Amino acid sequence: MSITENKYSVSVVIPAYNIGDFIARAINSVLAQTHPPDEIIVVDDGSTDNTGEVVKGFGEKVIYIHQQNGGLSAARNTAMRASTCKWISFLDGDDEWLEGYLEAQIGLLRRNPDLMWSTGNYLRCLCDEDRRQVVVDTATVKQILGGKDYFDDYLYAFRRGVGGCVNTMIVRADVFEQTGLFLEGLKRAEDLDMWLRICCHHPQIGFVVEPLSVYHLVREDCLSQQYTPVGLYCDLIDRRLEYAKKHERLDKFAPVASWMLQRWMRSFLFDARGEDVRIMLQKFGDIIPSWYKILMLTVTVFPKATATGCHLISKVVRALRLRKRLTRKPK
């Protein structure tokens, strides 16, 4: 059976930029799958290290594409355009899949042929400290799923911390004809921007309870720990509110947008970003609870003092081992 005839043919999209130390691990984890993929496409986004040489060493097992640096979204989009399969799955080049990833996902999709996308649980790993942790314990996930292997609404799952991650997403290729590709130029949350678009068209999403991938918390200077301007967050919410309104999903998305904004504002407190908190309150005050607005306005009067207090509380939480989520200890 050819790739085009196979209803469950899968392309694996791997963007890569200066990850010569990690890319072989990612590719080997795909090659080790109990259900082999049909294509592995690695897009080298203008690397200046040995990433390209490492990928080329896999020969015909991998489709290698080199392009000028355009960012993570641009690399993914290039691979997606090159794909010839019915389904597209994603893996960041410094992370890895567990060997049963594709077998579990394809099995779930065969059991639920109406699903257009699926995700699943995963592990967070501080491997240099020999620490691994499943993001959501399986018992909790099963309880949230209520006996099914899919959620009726991605937003429901996302709000409860079981929205998966890019490394656990598999999406039917024709979905992107509705949503468009990843937005290029975004410095953060380009994957979330995509999932929030998809769920406006296809709310239901499959979910594999057992961990499917490993998210490595390796580089302390990685993008997720860098400063992000408040405007980026505001633009993301603006775009998705407008998109949700257009597709008659505003009533579902607005509470989730409020929750996202509250989380971001809370994180700003640690960096004394009081002005950024107030910008969000002014821009999105109509979807943020009154009690939360009052709280944020109060604690941002003296932002540096609030930041000091937040860090002290965080140290106590760590010392008492009250934090459930595995994170790298800040310097």
Residue 331 above 50 pLDDT? no
Distance CA 14, CA 231 (A): 28
Provide the mean pLDDT of the chain.
92
Range of weakest confidence among 103-112, 122-131, 135-144, 220-229: 220-229
Instruction: Give mean pLDDT, residues 3-31.
Output: 93
Q: How confident is the model at residue 199 (pLDDT cuts 50, 70, 90)?
A: very high
Give me the pLDDT at residue 232, please. Answer: 93
Range of weakest confidence among 152-166, 169-183, 205-219: 205-219
Q: How confident is the model at residue 228 (pLDDT cuts 50, 70, 90)?
A: confident
Distance CA 105, CA 100 (A): 9
Residue 328 above 60 pLDDT? no
Instruction: Give mean pLDDT, residues 250-269.
Output: 97
User: With pLDDT > 70 as the criterion, what percentage of the chain qualifies?
Assistant: 92
Put simply, whether the predicted model's pTM sits higher than 0.95 gets the answer no
Residue 66 above 50 pLDDT? yes
Per domain, the residue ranges of the chain are 10-224, 227-319
Instruction: Give mean pLDDT, residues 281-302.
Output: 97
Range of weakest confidence among 8-12, 225-229, 233-237: 225-229
CATH class of 10-224: alpha beta
Instruction: Give mean pLDDT, residues 31-44.
Output: 98
Distance CA 219, CA 302 (A): 32
Give me the pLDDT at residue 171, please. Answer: 99
Give me the pLDDT at residue 187, please. Answer: 80
Give me the pLDDT at residue 322, please. Answer: 64
Closest by Cα among 156, 102, 133 to 215: 133
> What's the per-residue H, E or C state across the chain?
CCCCCCCCCEEEEEEECCCCCCHHHHHHHHHCCCCCCCEEEEEEECCCCCHHHHHHCCHHHCEEEEECCCCHHHHHHHHHHHCCCCEEEECCCCCEECCCHHHHHHHHHHHCCCCCEEEEEEEEEEHHHCEEEECCCHHHHHHHHCCCCEECCHHHHHHCCCCCCHHHCEEEHHHHHHHCCCCCCCCCCHHHHHHHHHHHHCCCEEEEEEEEEEEECCCCCCHHHCCCCHHHHHHHHHHHHHHHHHCCCHHHHHHHHHHHHHHHHHHHHCCCCHHHHHHHHHHHHHHCCHHHHHHHHHHCCCHHHHHHHHHHHHHHHHHCCCCCCCCCCCC
Q: How confident is the model at residue 51 (pLDDT cuts 50, 70, 90)?
A: very high
pLDDT (tens digit, 9 = 90+) per residue, 89-106? 999 999 999 999 999 999
Give me the pLDDT at residue 223, please. Answer: 41
User: With pLDDT > 90 as the criterion, what percentage of the chain qualifies?
Assistant: 85
pLDDT (tens digit, 9 = 90+) per residue, 16-27? 999 999 999 999
Q: How confident is the model at residue 165 (pLDDT cuts 50, 70, 90)?
A: very high
CA quadruple 60, 29, 52, 328: dihedral, nearest 10 = 170
How buried is 110 (Cβ within 10 angstroms: 0-12 exposed, 13-18 middle, 19+ buried)? exposed
End-to-end CA distance of the chain: 54
